Amino acid sequence: MSGSEYECRSCQQIFSGEAYSKSVFCPNCGMHLWPKYVKGPRSHTRRKGTEIETLQLTRDQINMDTLFEEFLRLKDFNCGEGIVFDDVPSWIMDRKKAYANFREKFTRDKLVDWENLHDDFHDFLYFKYNYSWTTLYRSGLKALSDLKRLWKLLTSLQDESVDIRIRVQEGLVGKYRCQGIGQNILTALLHTFYTEKYGVWNSRTTDTLSIVRRTPKLTSNLGDNYQRINNELLQLAKELKTDLTTIDSFMWFISKRIQIVQ
C-alpha cells in the first residue's frame, strides 16, 4: 500500500498509501479517497472471494461513518454471482462504466431498433453486465414480450420535463407500466440515466434505511414514496461526502453486514 497513490476527486489532491492507511478521507475537504488508477487489466474475476460477515448490533450501536470506512476498505470481495472485485473503488468504477454503456444504448435516438432494444435490455437485467444488481432478470424478462410498451417506459423515464413523482407513478401503476418491471428495475433505470440525481429503491434500500432508522414516512402513492426515499439517499450521500452509486453499494453492504438485535 505504501507505493500506491490515492486522489481526492473533490479538491484534486494526491495522497500516499501511508496517508490512506491512517484515514480513507481527504484531510482537506473530507471527501473519501480513491486509488489513482492507471490503465491496466480488469479488476474483477470469477473466484471465491471474501463473503461479508454478519455483525449483530442494536440500532443505537450503529455508526454510519465507521461502517462507511469499513465498506471503503473491503478487499477481494464477492459482490454478486461469483464476481469478485479487488476493492470497492474498482467496483464503483465498473458500475459507472456499465451505466454509461447502457445510457448510450437507451438514449431516445437509439431506441428505434427493436432487435437491439431486446438484446440491450436483456443484458441490462444481468449482473455480469450491469455490475450492480442481481436477479433483475427474474421478473424483468417479461417486459421483453411487449417491446413497444418497454420503449414507451424507457422514453418516459428520461423525460426530465415531467416531475419524477409522476414518472415513477405512471411507470409502476399508470399508463407506462410494463409487465415484470417493479420499483427495483424502474429505479435502477432512473439511476442509470441520471446517476447523480436519482438513487435506487429496492429491497436492500428498504431494509437498510430501516436498519439505520432513516425510513421516511410513506404514503399510498409510489411516486411520492420514491421521492422521499431518494431524498434520504441524497442526504446520506451528502453526509458521507460521496455519490449515489457508492450509496447504493453501501446499502448492499449494510444489509449484508448488520443484523439488528434487541
Check residue 204 and give its pLDDT: 96
pLDDT in tens, 55-87: 999 999 999 999 999 999 999 999 888 899 999
In the chain, the N- to C-terminal Cα span, in Å, equals: 39
Give me the pLDDT at residue 9, please: 67
Q: Which of 214, 192, 191 is nearest to 201 (CA)?
A: 191
Tell me the C-alpha to C-alpha distance, in Å, between residue 77 and each of 42, 103, 239.
15, 27, 25
The full set of domain ranges for the chain reads: 1-40, 92-260
Q: What is the mean pLDDT of the chain?
A: 90
pLDDT digits (tens, 9 = 90+) for 211-251: 999 999 999 999 999 999 999 999 999 999 999 999 999 99
Per-residue pLDDT of 89-122, as tens digits, reads: 999 999 999 999 999 999 877 666 677 899 999 9
- pLDDT, tens digit, for every residue of 138-180? 999 999 999 999 999 999 999 999 999 999 999 999 999 999 9
In which band, very low, low, confident or very high, does the pLDDT at 34 lie, cut at 50, 70 and 90? low
- What is the percentage of the chain residues whose pLDDT exceeds 90? 74
Percent above pLDDT 70 for the chain: 89
pLDDT at residue 133 above 70? yes
Average pLDDT over residues 40-69: 82
* pLDDT reported for residue 38: 47
pLDDT at 39 over 50: no
- pLDDT at residue 41 tops 70: no
Per the structure block, which three cell numbers stand in for 242? 460521496
- Amino acid occupying residue 4: S
Query: Exposure of 256 by Cβ count < 10 A (0-12 exposed, 13-18 middle, 19+ buried)?
Result: middle
Q: Are strands 75-80 and 83-87 parallel, antiparallel or unpaired?
A: antiparallel
- The pLDDT of 32-51, averaged and rounded, is 63
Whether residue 40 is predicted with pLDDT greater than 70 in this model: the reply is no
pTM: 0.86
